[in-house]
Amino acid sequence: MVGPGPTSWSIDPSAVETYEVRPGLWQLRLPVAWPGISHVNAFLLDRSDGGVTLVDCGSAGDDSCWDTLVTALGRTGHAIADVRELVITHAHSDHFGLARQVVEESGCRMRMHPAHEAFTDGMDDPDRIHAARGRRALREGVPPELVHLYADIREEAEGCQAPLPGFEPLHDGGSFETVHGTWLALETPGHAPSHLVFHQPEQRLLLVADLVSRIFAPWFDYGYTDDTVAEFAGSLERVSRLDAELALPGHGRPLEDVAGVVRMHREELVKRLADTMTAVAAGPTHAYGLCARVFEPAGDADAAVWQMVEMIAYLRHLRLTGRIERDESGETFAYRPTA
């Protein structure tokens, strides 16, 4: 997720939609309160012990969020008490915001990748993260009157239940079992350091979370790893080698042309980097100014913050690959092609 938190986290539980994608595998389309993002997908999978595994669980922030998850499970003929295992694809509020309550109410075990600090630092020390974001926004050219939008910490402070419950670390090569067989975990960072994709090779299924969707709209958790864009490119390349006929994303409908969607993301990433390079060559300026050269005007604060985060990640990658440099002598950074 991205940008200033919603003014209210309240959602309508009756807006839930559920689909049985394959026998014993349900897509739970959970509404969310974020402007411009209507929902997040969680997935419910039958187990051989009579229970279910829940993959992701939606945002917190209001009692209606929990009611929404309960409603979704009920429409599949299940209840929270049936959940034996909660598997988290990555540490963003829309994917694990309700994790603590799921664990407490069901007694299930929770599994996720341990590299969650890019999100949970904001839960644990919101004042420090808010101040750091504000300083970075100013250096990247954000006007002072808009800095509060770019420094907003409400997603971490409100959208996820604290404290984080105890969990079992899930790394590359780990797995979980359902009636469909063994789902293999693949570390696919870029969107988030903790991002995992799950592959069921016999049934040629992928749970891709936020790695890809029907549109190219990348978000990068910058600042916790060296080059999120390179990580993202590597994750796309890795998934492109998998044999899959259906991918289930964290947002939107199932993806039948898996290879085509991954190829589109790889091509769009190359184009976006080229556009950024062209924008830098047009004259030295900060990231905020470069957003205006590369992107269409943002329709709201959330879109503007999304663009800035994306731009900062591209600029970092271009610096690390030696194509541009950053002048840090002024009040704001200035990016220019390498001499």
Q: Tell me how far the alpha carbon of residue 93 is from its chain's centroid.
A: 9
CATH at residue 65: 3.60.15.10
pTM for the structure as a whole: 0.97
Which DSSP symbol is given to 325? E
pLDDT at 3: 66
pLDDT at 35: 79
Residue-averaged pLDDT of the chain: 96
Q: Is 60 exceeded by the pLDDT of residue 2?
A: no
Residue 145's domain comprises: 13-258
Q: Which amino acid, one-letter code, is at 112?
A: M
Q: Is 90 exceeded by the pLDDT of residue 273?
A: yes
DSSP-assigned beta bridge partners for residue 55? 43, 87
How many structural domains are present in the chain?
1
Query: Is 272 a domain residue?
Result: no
Q: Is 60 exceeded by the pLDDT of residue 188?
A: yes
Query: Is 8 a domain residue?
Result: no
Q: What's the whole-number mean pLDDT along residues 324-337?
A: 98
Summarize pLDDT for 22-79 with one digit per residue, the tens: 999 999 999 999 877 899 999 999 999 999 999 999 999 999 999 999 999 999 999 9
Q: Which amino acid, one-letter code, is at 226?
A: D
Per-residue confidence band for 299, with pLDDT thresholds at 50, 70 and 90: confident
pLDDT at 1: 42
Burial of 329 (0-12, 13-18, 19+ CB in 10 A): exposed
Least confident of 85-99, 265-279, 289-303: 289-303
Query: Is 36 a domain residue?
Result: yes
pLDDT at 36: 78
Summarize pLDDT for 107-154 with one digit per residue, the tens: 999 999 999 999 999 999 999 999 999 999 999 999 999 999 999 999
DSSP 79-123: -GGGEEEEE-S-SSHHHHTTHHHHHHHH--EEEE-S--HHHHHHH
pLDDT at 158: 94
pLDDT at 55: 99
pLDDT at 301: 84
On whether the CB atoms of residues 97 and 165 are closer than 8 A, the answer is no
- Determine what percent of the chain is predicted with pLDDT higher than 90: 94
On whether the CB atoms of residues 186 and 172 are closer than 8 A, the answer is yes
pLDDT at 54: 99
